[in-house]
Amino acid sequence: MNAWIYVAIIVVSTVASDLLQSWEMKRQGEMTNFGIGHLLKTLLSKLPLIASVVFLAISFYAFLALLQVADLSFAVPATALSLVAETILARLLLKEKVTAARWAGTALVTCGVYLLAL
């Protein structure tokens, strides 16, 4: 029971982090300057990106907490639920065109993650 609460926190915060990051970076436009200083400045000057790092940190700590109460072989496939959730939300919220090939590939990767953890 406790473990599923951590799984929920991990999935929700990972999804929130990735959606915020992808949304804000698309708004910024395609990057051409890949200097570390420029990248760090971008990361720290935009609120949605700062929020995405906060969510990433929450997800990381919840994963560490999950590993204290559950096996790695439970933790990895349970948190791989975020792969499917993110693909659905990328289509609905970010308006990406998820083609049949991309759905099939994402499903294959998700199956693979489950098998790895068995």
Neighbours of 34 (CB within 10 A): 7
Nearer to another protein, 5 or 112 (CB): 112
| Residues recorded for the chain | 118
Q: Which residue has the tokens 């949304």?
A: 23
How far, in Å, CA of 78 to CA of 11, rounded?
9
Minimal distance in Å, beta carbon 1 to another protein? Answer: 26
The residue type of 111 is C
Q: Which two tokens stand for residue 38?
A: 């420029």
Q: Which residues bind another protein (CB under 8 A)?
A: 18-19, 21-22, 25-26, 28-31, 34, 36, 39-40, 42-43, 49, 53, 56, 76, 83, 86-87, 90-91, 94-99, 101-102, 104-118
Nearer to another protein, 5 or 104 (CB): 104
Nearer to another protein, 8 or 112 (CB): 112
